[in-house]
A and B are shown apart, each in its own frame.
Chain A
Amino acid sequence: MKQWQQPILYLVAIYLVLLLGPIAGLDLPRIAGDIASNPQVLIQQILVGLVNGGIIAIIALGYTLVYGIIELINFAHGDLYMLGGFAALTVISSFGIQDGSSLVAALPAILLALVISCGLCAGLNMLTERFAYRPLRNAPRLAPLISAIGVSFIFQNLGLFWGGLKAFIPAMGANSAAPKSFPDLLPRINIIKALGIDSNISFTTKDLIVLIFAVALMVSLHLFVTYTRLGKAMRATAQNRDAARMMGIDVDWIIALTFLLGGSLAGAAGLMVGLYNNTIVFTMGFTAGLQAFTAAVLGGIGNIFGAMMGGVLIGLLSALSDQYLSSRWTNAWVFAVLVIILIFRPGGLLGENVQEKV
């Protein structure tokens, strides 16, 4: 492209956005008016976006961990998180805990649900790695990708099947494909009000707990990867598998460990989303997986901080788009932003710049 063409191209692009944007809710004067007339809504949406972003980031970490180490887009990860939600619901409901049970009484059940859903997802993920991905480790990239898509279908069907087990788990309800209601256990005390600030913004203890939990998971993952021997081995394996093997690292075990970590993050996210949204459905893995995957790519797939940042960005973007653009167009906007960012930074925001020379 010639030097003088570039500004013209940008002008044309901006004009097109101004011309066609209003169809999809991007009507700048209206948005400016909305924000000016009620700035509290903006803050509210940012808070909502942060909490949702935290959850997305946790799932995105699972994608990025696996990608970082074996360069595989683990399509099944989103569905694994869905299975985590089902496991958590099964455990919690088997203690007879329902809507309105006190948090103190439910706490042991929640902790047990956390352990079981993390364990189940970690185990499933490791099994998948052993039987579906490991045999394909030296095959071309497309083979494990298709395998992952296959595993994703299997998990989705398992979720459907699990949802139909009403004979054994009454909480699953009559219809196997219908959304299941998850007991609402986290307290909803508005912190802003409790602090004595008079406003319409609501930020409840429920939001706070989820946010803290997400941040704690991210921090502990970061600490693990940065400071422990195993974390170091993971980083080494990610950098160069053969060199790592020569340094005496059991590469197979480290890769299995990565899947274990990713799986437990998915399990934790499943429980967290169940407690936060109070509903789970067998297709939620696909939508959440897509969002999280987008987040991981946005941040630069393979990069742990990138996944966190991408998750929060996607969360914020969705929340703001729901409010100010149009909730029906949110999905399209998220991907549009992704495409635009990838045009300018083909390796994602924090990823190393790996572009094809065209």
Chain B
Amino acid sequence: MPNQVIKKIKSSGMLGPIAALTVALFGGWSGAVMGWLLGTAAGFRSTQGKIIASPKMGAQIGAYAGLNLGVWFLVASLMEGLVIRPLSGQSPTNLLMPLLSGVVALGAATLAASLMAGLQGIPPGKKRRANQINLCFVALLFPFADAVAQTNWIATIIQILIFVMLALGLNITVGFAGLLDLGYAAFFAIGAYTTGLLSSPQLDLEWNFWLVLPIAAAVAALAGLILGTPTLRLRGDYLAIVTLGFGQIVPVLFRNLIAVRIDEPISKMMAAVFNRPELAICLVGCDRPLNLTGGEAGINPIGRPSLPILGEFQSSNYLPWYYLILVLVVLAYFAIGRLRNSRLGRSWAAIREDQLAASAMGINLVNTKLLAFAMGATFSGFAGAFYAAYISAIFPSVFDFSISVIILCMVILGGLGNMTGVILGATIIMAADRLYLPQLAQILKGFLNTAVLPNIANPQFRDFLAVSLDPLQMRLFLFGLTLVIMMIVRPEGLVPDATHKAEMHSSDAEAKKAIASAEG
């Protein structure tokens, strides 16, 4: 039975429902922006597994897929304007507006899809480059579309990109090298705090962000080595608990390093023995204990990056931040892709599959494992540095265990080891959590307030309904349920890596094909 469900989802694609949901929740011109983004995806999807002879043929296939998607937009747009708006107590509109925005969304989806699908018809040598250029075009122009359509998604997109970066980094440790890391947020914290300490008034160091960025990544990498060293000999679950412990210790550290004083122990002992206090050597915080991390209050304000022409990045202007994190993510994507196919990356795959065999083939297990932790940590160091500068304040409570778990879930939901999948996983989880759920909550609240609650006489029951039907209260529940269902229906993730998929369905015929293609 589940197999049939999967086939159905695969054939229809999740794009249509996502499109409809977006328009139904956000209304307005959101369909146009989403039509552009999803249309590009639909165009690419529609050509997968087909032989596209020419750009024209691709464009035709893409246009069909885009139209298909556009119908979802149109219907949802009409639904939003005619049903959801009045019911949830928002200002009603006339028929023209939803129809117009639906048609625009349909047009955007069709155009984007046929463009993307048309590109697939280009001869193979240039196709890859054309695809990249098109995606860059979409990513670069997104903020303007967002501004024109007044959807105001850019702040959330920046958050999403931070998590994409983190998920890509964790994917190195867990997906490539197969080392389960349950404390990944610690490296994120270390990157952020390094930035916080080096470019804030906390220690009177206000270094330039561009200098601090690589330092933060290096410090995080060093922390990765430090974590890696004691865990080398540990097996699966013991490794998991030690990384979890590391993830717990680091926030405690940042929470409590508020009165640091370090004395040199040997001289202190001598001073005590000979009863001559002047012998004791004090190293740090002698006159008054050093407040290193600001405790619960965190570090604030943290210096922002600046560029020659643009000047200092402002918190009110999202554009430079968006491009900065975009550049970081793209660089990370290419770096990690190269890393995976390098000698080191192949060593990771080897120790993931069989450590003993890998070792027999002459792979240095110690170095390879340590580098997996260090490289994974590096990227979260970058993400942490960006995050600290972007928020301009950091607190220890941001880097809880739950963040580690959510990043891990992004990696696994997206598809362990597959970079596209990981990006998709991070985007879906973050967008659902930060974008769709709050909007859904708002609309549901409006709906309850206008249509349901006034009709309920019992005040206690009314309060109960108002509180308990808030989707934001059900965040964890929905997330947990998604995880469980995903694991049962599709344990290999949304976009599975061929070898991982083969492991997950070792008996399926489909998987045998996957193994064959992975080997071939």
Interface residues of A (CB under 8 A from B): 15, 18-20, 22-24, 29, 67, 71, 73, 131-132, 135-136, 139-147, 149-158, 160-161, 164-167, 176, 286, 290, 293-294, 297, 301, 326, 328-329, 331-332, 335-336, 338-339, 342-343, 346-348, 354-358
Contacts and interface: CB of A to CB of B under 8 A. Distances in A.
B396 to A, nearest CB: 12
B256 A167 contact: no
Given A140-B504, A342-B238, A157 B405 contact: no
Given A147-B483, A157-B480, A328-B256, A358 B245 contact: no
Nearest to B255: A328
Contacts of B477: 153-154, 157-158, 161
Contacts of A346: 233-235, 238
A83 to B, nearest CB: 13
Interface in B132-169: none
B259 to A, nearest CB: 9
B488 A132 contact: yes
Contact of B416 (A19, A132, A142, A155): A142
Interface string B256-279: 110011111110000010000000
B262 A147 contact: no
B409 A149 contact: yes
B356 A357 contact: yes
Contacts of A18: 265
Contacts of A343: 230, 233
B409 A146 contact: yes
Contacts of A342: 230, 234, 238, 241-242
B233 A153 contact: no
Contacts of A73: 237, 240-241
Interface residues of B, number: 64
A339 B256 contact: no
A165 to B, nearest CB: 7
B15 interface: no
A135 B504 contact: no
Given A73-B237, A356-B233, A143 B504 contact: yes
A22 B263 contact: yes
B468 A332 contact: no
For A18, A290, A332, the residue with the greatest tally of chain B CB atoms inside 10 Å of its CB is A332
Contact of B488 (A135, A145, A153, A167): A135
A15 B409 CA distance: 40
Given A332-B252, A336-B249, A154 B480 contact: yes
13 contacts: A19-B264, A20-B262, A144-B487, A151-B484, A153-B479, A155-B480, A157-B473, A167-B461, A331-B249, A338-B241, A347-B235, A347-B238, A356-B235
A158 B409 CA distance: 20
B484 A19 contact: no
Given A157-B476, A346-B233, A329 B252 contact: yes
B263 A150 contact: no
Given A335-B245, A355-B233, A146 B252 contact: no
B238 A22 contact: no
A156 B463 CA distance: 22
A276 B464 CA distance: 30
B369 to A, nearest CB: 7
A358 B369 contact: yes
B503 interface: yes
Contacts of B359: 357
B248 A335 contact: yes
Nearest to B229: A343
A297 B242 CA distance: 10
B499 to A, nearest CB: 11
A22 B240 contact: no
Given A73-B240, A157-B477, A346-B238, A150 B482 contact: yes
A150 B262 contact: no
Q: Which 8 A-B residue pairings sit nearest by Cβ, starting from the closest?
A: A150-B483, A153-B480, A335-B245, A157-B477, A18-B265, A154-B480, A157-B476, A150-B480
Given A22-B263, A355-B233, 19 more contacts: A24-B256, A73-B241, A146-B409, A146-B483, A150-B479, A150-B481, A152-B480, A154-B477, A157-B474, A157-B476, A158-B477, A161-B468, A167-B460, A290-B248, A328-B256, A331-B249, A343-B230, A347-B238, A354-B235
